[in-house]
Amino acid sequence: MSDDTQKQLISVIATGVAFVVASRLAEDMIDAPEVRGVGDDVKEGLLQATFSLLSTVVASVLIRRALGGR
């Protein structure tokens, strides 16, 4: 598998995992007031950024291990 294909695969997996996990956690952590405040937006943004970073690293490790055995 070429480097470009690996990068694309890592990006797709990481984005999907980060979106699902961050969305579910954001729903649990952020109370749904009638009007969202800046604090709610900051919490959601930090959650999404954190899980995006973590899922990118995890996806990268998994892809490299899977392809390293070949």
The whole-angstrom separation of Cα 48 and Cα 68 is: 29
End-to-end CA distance of the chain: 10
Q: What is the pLDDT of residue 32?
A: 62
At 23-43, the pLDDT tens digits run 777 776 666 666 778 887 888
The whole-angstrom separation of Cα 44 and Cα 47 is: 5
Q: What is the pLDDT of residue 69?
A: 58
* 11: containing domain: 3-68
Report how many domains make up the chain: 1
The whole-angstrom separation of Cα 24 and Cα 43 is: 13
Q: What is the pLDDT of residue 19?
A: 78
Residue ranges in 1-70 assigned as alpha helix (H) = 3-29, 38-68
